[in-house]
Amino acid sequence: MNKKSRFSDSDLVEAINEKDLLEQAILQLYQDHAEITRSFIMGKGGTEQDADDIFQETIVSFIESVQKGKFRQESGIRTFLISISKYIWYNEIRKRQRAGNREKIFEMDRDQKEEPVTEAIIDREMKQQLNKLLQELGESCKKILELFYYENLSMKEIVSQMHYENEQVVRNKKYKCLQQLTDKMKQNPLAAKQINELISK
């Protein structure tokens, strides 16, 4: 895939799964779809800031869907992104408890065809809470976990990047950090509920 060229929808999905092309893919998503999504959010009572935040969250959810193989390209990327944005925005309105506005908006869209929303964006509230728990771990923990689980760096590379004594120190630190995070998650009712549902299936 040419790094400089623009991606077709199918190429974009492939690019999202390639570490070196992800940034270019994100950039193209912004260039091609940000405005229409922003217009939708702002047309539904959102502010400019809301629109920017919702689109950012939409992109993250879309990438997550693609990387987990849950975007099957049954609809175009734009349709999919707008569906996610809608879902997130309605969810956000519900969260803010703006009852009057919320009811009005849901009434407006009740008869519309159900858009294909991936399960990757379900449990938004829980994900937000878990993200807060991750931030509570501190920067060094978060960094080690991200370098290992997202950047896919080896222990040796992490030692070099974060200036730890040796790989074993990093390995121990990573164990502890992950354990701390799971301990915190066990205290979270939404996470506990989801785990219970999973293991009782």
CB 77 within 8 A of CB 107: no
**Residues 16 and 22 sit within 8 Å (Cβ to Cβ):** yes
One of 42, 122, 133, 169 touching another protein (CB under 8 A) = 133
Q: Draw the binding track, 64-83, toward another protein (x: CB under 8 A; -: no contact).
A: x--x----------------
Q: Which of 6, 72, 95, 186 binds another protein (CB under 8 A)?
A: 186
**What CA–CA distance (Å, rounded) separates 99 from 45?**
13
Distance (Å, whole) CA 6 – CA 12? 9
Which CB, 94 or 184, lies closer to another protein? 184
**56 near another protein, judged by CB under 8 A:** yes
Question: CB of 108: closest distance to another protein in angstroms?
Answer: 28
List CB contacts of 137: < 8 A, sequence separation 6 or more.
Answer: 145, 177, 180, 181, 184
Q: Which of 9, 35, 136, 151 binds another protein (CB under 8 A)?
A: 151
Burial of 45 (0-12, 13-18, 19+ CB in 10 A): middle
Nearer to another protein, 111 or 150 (CB): 150
* Alpha carbons 31 and 28: distance in angstroms, whole number: 5
Per CB under 8 A, residues contacting another protein are 22-23, 26-27, 30, 52, 56, 59-60, 63-64, 67, 127, 130-131, 133-134, 142, 145-146, 148-151, 174-176, 178-179, 181-182, 185-186, 191, 194-196, 198-199
